[in-house]
Structure 1
């Protein structure tokens, strides 16, 4: 009971902080204010260590959303993790996770960004391996090692920033856009952002991280870990516009969006489908960011955070009621047994699809209209719209398998919406998923932009969504009725459902050789040659010599006579020469 009260206390504190920051962000946006704080930690002989913080409307608004979602997730965990003996440890890990994200958001300095960045990496590893089994350990190792590549890129960027004189990158972006050094730094930051936001070829860790508890997934996949890369590129956006970096990112993020959409249509694990949906949306954010529309990317980032957290929380309730079963083929007819959860799940899914006047519609529709208005090649145009169709396709497939049809689970089951704690957490996000898009569009784009398109292009987004939804529902219906026929396409579905073999390449293909190489280097160098020519042998020689000197200094008569004889022999031999 003590831990439940702690959960409720943290929920109230974080929720009030979120509300305060939201009001503050509106003030900063309307007044066009930016506050830059410098806090001198240590000053020694004209060398000072200074901590810098940047407060503008972007950082304040994003922090507000992070705190809102984390407060709801902690309240939701009070019921979801109630049988866990270490719930206090879990809550502390979640709070450390949120603190690391906050540090990253308000940092205009690459050093303090690295602190938040590494904090996210370390705590995410601890949370992925929270359920201690072999699968969780493997997933945690894949997550940690994939993110280390980005950490190394960030360290190299810090080293390269020494060419400038300060690590406050915010001052150098505009003036040094065409400098070669800044483009190299931008490339390294882009690599770091790609690892954190799981773009190709670093996509394998994101579905694997589903081994973490569901409340953590709701937090990670909405507003913290995976969005850190997008947020970093929002800050470094000047370097992507009209440069080769932006073109590379556009191609990679478009392919990621397409690959994740295809993979989700062949997946049967409920949490992994939602994880691949996150990957698809991250690709959408990255691709619009590479074209230079940072406000649009931030808008979609915030709206996506709301309905994705809700989607994960509903999935958690379903899994909880299914006695920890995640296979969607065993679900069905949940709409009659869990009506409130099913309603929230449906609304979150429709918001993800871009259903008119829900949160996702305002951002996704605007992004796709801007794409149609922009100077865009045909391949990228195809990836944008086909991926949007795939999003609606897997969403309707998910609705068909879980909410309609017949229940396929155990004959003895008890499913209900009785848990008021979990439901009240969901209702907060449900309210925001309905009005959030409209609210943010008025805030971020106070002056409405005229997007003039022909009627057929204006309706293209809606038509793609309708076709995708019909296809998803129909294919699910047919494949369930004629299951044996789909086995003919087993190889194709195996390839597409395995994310283009990226998990295999990332583990067996890359990690194994590098781990073996690291083990070989460790054995032959750290415990081999460097030991022989280093500390251990030096220690043995010094010890032996000191013991010998000690023996001589004991003034023993026999040793004295022996040494005297030895010196006489040496002297005589020298004289004879």
Structure 2
């Protein structure tokens, strides 16, 4: 009864708060309002410590979406985590995670951003290692250490902000753009955002974080942890438009998008395919942000959150029914056994591909048309469109393996759609994945802009999507021939499927070998030579002299006799010499 109550209370509270914030957000958007709320914590003489909150349409909308998704995730968890003895602890961790995200969203101050930023890092570690096994511990450590780099960059940015006399970055961004020295803050913030949003070369932690329970993945990979970096850069966007930093970010984000799309086409773990899909979409957001379109990046951030959370929820329901098997080769013809779940999965997949009039279409199509219209080099243009084709390719590959292919589960199975609580949680997101894109499009871009392109460029997006989908389905359909082909080119297949060796570099290269070197250094110097000639040498010498002194002070007759004999020998020797 207690389990049901904490889940239901959390669900209802977050859902009502989400609806209220959405109404406020629409009001702020229509009336172009921005509220700063300052709360004085401590005042000592002329110094005061003030907590500042920023409420504008962007922060209110984002909070509303985060709370909406987290409320449905908690509702979904009631059944998904029903066998867990510590479900209350799980729900409280999720609530703490959401609270950290709220702190990050409404902070115009780098210090309070750090509270939310580090809160996300700490709670995400606790959630990734929730299933306590070696794989989870390793994944949690990789996640925590990767994110620490960003935390350090943010701390350095806080130190640099002292040059302005305040940490409220929102007041100084215009000045910082023209200040060459203070562009360092921009570089540090970009580094922090790249670690949190898993851009190259920090990408390996995101698929590893799939060790967390599926409801956590639905929350983390849709609207909270991984989007924190994108949101921070949306706020700092003015700093790196038309600059070298912006160009580097565009290149790295484009490569991330390409690498993740390529890797997902070789992956067989259901959750990792969806995680790589998240990585690909984060690359898309970062790259359009680097080109100077923060509103567009934010629009895609919100629409992506809706269908990605739905994708993870469907994956969780399938894994639940498949007796915890995540291998897509074990699945097949699930549409016969789980019609509602597979329908939701199809809608989410089509929204991800940019199917017209679903949520993803409004943002992805607009982004690609803006890219076609912008002044951009050929390589970046290729990365945008080829990565879009790869997205549709792995989506249709997933459809083939899970929904339409051969039935590969055991004949004794419990595949059904009778998980009513999970189905209700999914249906809320299903509704938003269909209408969310159009609703946001009309709110954020009320007056339509004319994008005038040649017919080839206009149809290029559609052509790339259709070609990608056909390839994905056909290659999976004749998988025996193509798998043999991929096995004959094993080295290149392994390179592409292992995220360009990034997990090996992140673990062995940047964690294992430096730690090994550190251990050898500490053994050789701190616990070796410096001990031998330093502390231990002084200790042994003092001990020796002390023992000798104690021996002399024992007042034994033999000591006096030995001393007397010694001095007689010395005198005789001197006399003989003389």
Q: If the length of structure 1 is used for normalisation, what is the TM-score?
A: 0.91
State yes or no: 1:135 paired with 2:142.
no
Question: Retained in 2: the 8 A contact 1:160–1:181?
Answer: no
- Structure with higher Rg: it is 2
Inter-partner Cα distance in structure 1 for 2:101 and 2:516: 33
Residues 250 and 526 from structure 1, CA distance in 2 versus in 1: closer, same or farther, beyond 3 angstroms?
same
Alignment of 1:527-546 (within 5 A): none
Alignment of 1:188-227 (within 5 A): 188-227=188-227
Q: Which residue of 1 aligns with 2:231?
A: 231
Inter-partner Cα distance in structure 2 for 1:152 and 1:338: 46
Q: Which residue of 2 aligns with 1:119?
A: 119
Deviation above 6 Å: which 4+ runs of structure 1? 524-534
Inter-partner Cα distance in structure 1 for 2:317 and 2:501: 31
Inter-partner Cα distance in structure 1 for 2:47 and 2:159: 18
User: What is the number of equivalent residue pairs in this alignment?
Assistant: 547
Offset, 1:175: 2.2
Offset, 1:142: 0.5
Offset, 1:519: 3.7
Inter-partner Cα distance in structure 2 for 1:530 and 1:420: 67
Offset, 1:529: 9.3
| RMSD over equivalenced CA pairs, Å | 2.3
Q: Which residue of 1 aligns with 2:320?
A: 320
Q: Which residue of 1 aligns with 2:63?
A: 63
Deviations for 1:165-195, whole angstroms, at most 9, x for unmatched residues? 1010101111230212321000000000000
Offset, 1:478: 1.1
Q: Which residue of 1 aligns with 2:331?
A: 331
2:412 alignment partner, SS class: coil
Alignment of 1:327-476 (within 5 A): 327-476=327-476
Inter-partner Cα distance in structure 2 for 1:409 and 1:155: 51
Inter-partner Cα distance in structure 2 for 1:131 and 1:381: 42
Deviations for 1:536-561, whole angstroms, at most 9, x for unmatched residues? 99xx99xx9xxxxxxxxxxxxx9xxx
State yes or no: 1:21 paired with 2:8.
no
Q: Which residue of 2 aligns with 1:110?
A: 110
Q: Which residue of 1 aligns with 2:298?
A: 298
Question: Retained in 1: the 8 A contact 2:176–2:239?
Answer: no
Inter-partner Cα distance in structure 1 for 2:366 and 2:533: 65
Inter-partner Cα distance in structure 2 for 1:528 and 1:148: 30
Deviations for 1:85-142, whole angstroms, at most 9, x for unmatched residues? 1101111110110000000000011111111100000010111111111101110111
Deviations for 1:471-502, whole angstroms, at most 9, x for unmatched residues? 00000111146654442232221111000000
Inter-partner Cα distance in structure 1 for 2:533 and 2:236: 46
Question: Retained in 2: the 8 A contact 1:261–1:276?
Answer: yes
Unaligned runs of 5+ in 2: 544-554, 556-578
Question: Retained in 2: the 8 A contact 1:368–1:384?
Answer: yes
Q: Which residue of 2 aligns with 1:569?
A: none
Inter-partner Cα distance in structure 2 for 1:101 and 1:415: 36
Residues 344 and 533 from structure 1, CA distance in 2 versus in 1: closer, same or farther, beyond 3 angstroms?
farther
Inter-partner Cα distance in structure 2 for 1:530 and 1:15: 61
Residues 482 and 363 from structure 1, CA distance in 2 versus in 1: closer, same or farther, beyond 3 angstroms?
closer
Offset, 1:456: 1.5
Question: Retained in 2: the 8 A contact 1:36–1:53?
Answer: yes
1:24 alignment partner, SS class: helix
Q: Which residue of 2 aligns with 1:85?
A: 85
1:410 alignment partner, SS class: coil
Inter-partner Cα distance in structure 1 for 2:401 and 2:305: 24
Unaligned runs of 5+ in 1: 545-557, 559-577
